[in-house]
Amino acid sequence: MKIVQALGWYYPESLGGTEVYVAGLSRRLQRAGHAVLIAAPDPQHGDERTYEHDGMPVYRYPIPRVPTREESQGTARVRGAERFHTWLERQRPDVVHVHTFVTGLGLAELRAAKASGARVIVTTHSSSLGYICQRGTMMRWGESLCDGVCIATKCAACELQHRGLPKGLASVVARLPPAIGKISGRVPGKLGSALGMSALIVRNQAMQRELVSTVDKFVLLTQWAFDAVVANGAPRQRLALNRLGISHEHLPIKPAPEQQPTQTPITVGYLGRFDPIKGVYDLARAVASLPRNVALHVELRGPLNGDDDRRQLNELRRIVNDDPRITVAPPVSADKVAKVLAGYDLLCCPAACVEGGPTAAIEAHAVGTPVIGTRIGGLAELITDGENGRLVPPGDWRALATVLRDVAADPGKTIDRWRRALPPVRTMDEIAADYLAQYAA
């Protein structure tokens, strides 16, 4: 088969969980004898380009650095994306597998994939679950886990609060009828965005229905996500569950706790973006709140790809306030992640959004490192609280501080006990086998 893997960004400009996932999946498919091509939009260059990354051909098509409101919302074809459509016509793939919805990779591209004669598979790696959550976190008001059901007034108010409106005012503006909001939304700037929010949510609901009806399979990474998509009206026969796993094939497994018990001070790691929705600010606040005699060291590692990343890192440093127990280390390349994780006593994944993984938590379990996470998304399905790790409410840095203090006080009864009960880990070989069955169905 000729298989196109399409995602919103790719190496070398970007390094994240989705890129690692797609690269690992593509390698397995290639080894199984299939022709694999990777495609992604590119706002940084003005022309189409092709290159090879890790033995895989990559096609990039240009899109605007600054898209229009209509392009961002998916109501107008994104300039430059037509080149991807033409490329698909030339390639005539058997399968087009889309992993992210971003500007330049959306419903128009799914239609183009179907028009090329391909079987279309979508895997949603983001908390939006397609077009269900405009806020992109599945966190109601940014504070607690949402029920996952999209309702125009509810979701419009949540997104308006996310954009800076007080809850009360957001709730009032969200009640603007969608028909009026559609007209008011044409006003330029933030006012138009606010007045048109209820209409945007209704449009998202229509786009979600089209997404599910267009694809051959819509793949979810957790049971919670699967149930949420069903609750929003998707027929079960269009959906599939394919949980995350690890791409690494040769892992540095740490010795058993009987051979190498955990010593103090304990080392806690964080791998991921410095975006607040990843909960890294909560981790920084938790550690900074602890007395200096709490025996732990925390290492933060994340990419620095642009101004937003640097601003977020500066905010982290402000929160840390020169606490000597917290260090910021360089980002980790994919081939070094397992070794870094094996060097930690604990990995902390304090996510403030519903995630399919994160992948780093699964990789940590694979090398023998327990995880402290939040009680949402994939983490809640991966960690059994108190048995092989700990779960805390998302956004509750005080609860996280309490857990860190208790673990540092007695790593033998916490970390070492959890190490003996880590769950088995899925592999990318299993994931690829499940996808091949979907591709050939």
Same domain as 179, residue 289: no
Q: How far is CA 275 from CA 73, 184, 314, 320, 394, in A?
A: 22, 32, 11, 15, 14
Residue 279 zone, left/alpha/beta (φ > 0; ψ -120 to 50; rest): left
User: Is 290 within a domain?
Assistant: yes
Same domain as 433, residue 291: no
Q: Residue 279 in contact with residue 361, Cβ under 8 Å?
A: no
Same domain as 110, residue 182: no
Q: Residue 21 in contact with residue 221, Cβ under 8 Å?
A: no
The per-residue b/e assignment along 18-35, b for 16 or more CB within 10 angstroms, e otherwise, is bbbbbbbbbbbbeeeebe
Same domain as 279, residue 219: no
Same domain as 305, residue 412: yes
Q: How many helices (H) and strands (E) does the chain have?
A: 18, 16
The pLDDT value given to residue 17? 80
46, with CB counted inside 10 A (0-12, 13-18, 19+), is exposed
Same domain as 226, residue 168: no
Same domain as 409, residue 276: yes
**Structural domain for 198, as ranges:** 139-202
Same domain as 435, residue 410: no
Q: Residue 3 in contact with residue 36, Cβ under 8 Å?
A: yes
The pLDDT value given to residue 14? 81
| 139: its two tokens | 């966190």
Same domain as 390, residue 343: yes
Same domain as 407, residue 333: yes
Residues 6+ positions from 166 with CB-CB distance below 8 Å = none
| 401: its two tokens | 């501080």
User: Is 340 within a domain?
Assistant: yes
User: Is 251 within a domain?
Assistant: no
Q: Return the bridge partners of 95, or none.
A: 3, 119
Q: Residue 239 in contact with residue 228, Cβ under 8 Å?
A: no
Q: Which of 230, 9, 4 is nearest to 98 (CA)?
A: 4
The pLDDT value given to residue 251? 85
| 152: its two tokens | 């125009």
User: Is 248 within a domain?
Assistant: no
Helix, strand or coil for residue 391? strand
Q: Residue 88 in contact with residue 110, Cβ under 8 Å?
A: no
Distance CA 291, CA 212 (A): 51
User: Is 253 within a domain?
Assistant: no
Distance CA 19, CA 101 (A): 14
The pLDDT value given to residue 249? 75
User: Is 297 within a domain?
Assistant: yes
Q: What is the pLDDT along the chain (441 residues), one digit of tens a residue?
A: 999 999 999 988 887 788 989 999 999 999 999 999 999 999 999 899 999 999 999 999 999 999 998 888 888 889 999 999 999 999 999 999 999 899 999 999 999 999 999 999 999 999 999 999 999 999 999 999 999 999 999 999 999 999 999 999 999 999 988 776 566 556 556 766 777 899 999 999 999 999 999 999 999 999 999 999 999 999 999 999 999 998 877 788 999 999 999 999 999 999 998 999 999 999 999 999 999 999 999 999 998 878 888 899 899 889 988 899 999 999 888 888 999 999 999 999 999 999 888 889 999 999 999 999 999 999 999 999 999 999 999 999 999 999 999 999 999 999 999 999 999 999 999 999 999 999 998
Residues 6+ positions from 92 with CB-CB distance below 8 Å = 2, 116, 117, 118
Regarding beta strands 119-123 and 139-140, do their DSSP bridges make them parallel or antiparallel, or are they unpaired? Answer: unpaired
User: Is 44 within a domain?
Assistant: yes
Task: Please name the helix (run of DSSP H) or strand (run of DSSP E) that holds residue 192, with its range, or none.
Answer: helix 189-195
Same domain as 164, residue 27: no
Q: How many other CB atoms are there within 10 angstroms of residue 209's CB atom?
A: 15
User: Is 210 within a domain?
Assistant: no
| 234: its two tokens | 């998707």
The pLDDT value given to residue 76? 86
Same domain as 392, residue 434: no
In the chain, the number of structural domains is 3
CATH number at residue 275: 3.40.50.2000
| E strand segments, 86-131 | 95-98, 119-123
